[in-house]
Amino acid sequence: MAAVDLGTTEWKGPDFHSGHQSPEEAGDQQEAQSVMMREKYQLSMWLLERPMIKELVHIGAQFVGYREYANKTEEKLAEANKLVDTLAQKLEQSETARKKAELDASQAKAEAEKAKAKVAGVEDLQKRLDDAETALNEHKAAQATREKAIIKHLNTQNRRFLGKTNQDFELEDPDNDPLLDALSFLEFHGTEVREGMEHADAGLSRLFPYFFPKKEEPKTFLALAKDFNPPEDLGLKMRQENMKIAVESTVALVVDSQQNIDWMKVGDTEQIEQAKWRSLIKAAKPNTKKILAYLGIKPSSTPSSSRPRSS
């Protein structure tokens, strides 16, 4: 087989389709086609044995391989892009979840701090409440002790009033409270003492000019009462003063009668017995009333018959 220059030689087969053919021509044409097919086969085999064709076939095969590889690469690239998109979406979701988790964590931390502050506030409030309760209990204990001391003091005062006035009281409607009941008793005793002081003040004020004619009456009841309670016996002193006036008045009346009297003998009363003295006083009563009336003195209903003391 002769060499063919593929760059310049163009092979063309016979034209089997030009015009109308007879059966003989058709048979010849089939034979010619068979021959042509064989020639094409031989030519193909010859071409495949050529180095350049082999190289071209190899290049074509590589091109086909590269195209398949490219197609597969494109598919893998598309899958990779899809995976990247999926991963990006998941990353975005993960980032959103992370931000949400951080926000939730921040809120949880804030809530925890707030709860911690509340717990601390509750603990502080509980401590203050415990301190207040302790202080209240201490105050109650101190108040109870103080009330006991006050009750004891009031009862002591009531006993002292009872010892001075000999007047006891009984509550008609007690409060069943030791402090209030003791205070009620003290009010009763206070009322009694106040009324007694009013009467005593009026009585002592009335008597003051007779016992202290040259002295000014005090302004307070206590000072007035002290004046009536000196070391000496005011009653005895008043009695002696009255007896002195009575004796002087009697002597003056006797002197005025111009009778001779032995006054030394009259003044000697040591030898007179008590019974005789009472008899003499009784016998002198009719004349005593006249003398007292003369002097402007109203006699008392029960005159004293005690024996006078010598001066």
pLDDT tens-digit map of 119-178: 888 888 888 899 999 999 999 999 888 888 888 888 888 787 777 777 777 777 777 788
For the chain, which residues make up each domain, given as ranges?
Answer: 233-311
Asked if 307 contacts 274 with a C-beta cutoff of 8 angstroms, the reply is yes
- Residue 57 neighbours by CB distance under 10 Å: 13
Q: For 248-269, write each residue's pLDDT tens digit.
A: 777 787 777 777 777 676 666 6
Asked if 51 contacts 59 with a C-beta cutoff of 8 angstroms, the reply is no
Residue that is written with structure tokens 């495949």 in the block: 48
12-48 residues labelled b (16+ CB within 10 A) or e (exposed): eeeeeeeeeeeeeeeeeeeeeeeeeeeeeeeeeeeee
* pLDDT bracket for residue 53 (50, 70, 90): low
And the tokens for 192?
A: 């009694």
Asked if 151 contacts 183 with a C-beta cutoff of 8 angstroms, the reply is no
Q: pTM surpassing 0.85?
A: no
Mean per-residue pLDDT of the chain: 76
Q: Is the pLDDT assigned to residue 99 strictly greater than 60? A: yes
Instruction: List the single range of 38-47, 72-81, 253-262 with lowest mean pLDDT.
Output: 38-47
3-state helix, strand, coil in the chain (%, to 5): 75, 0, 25
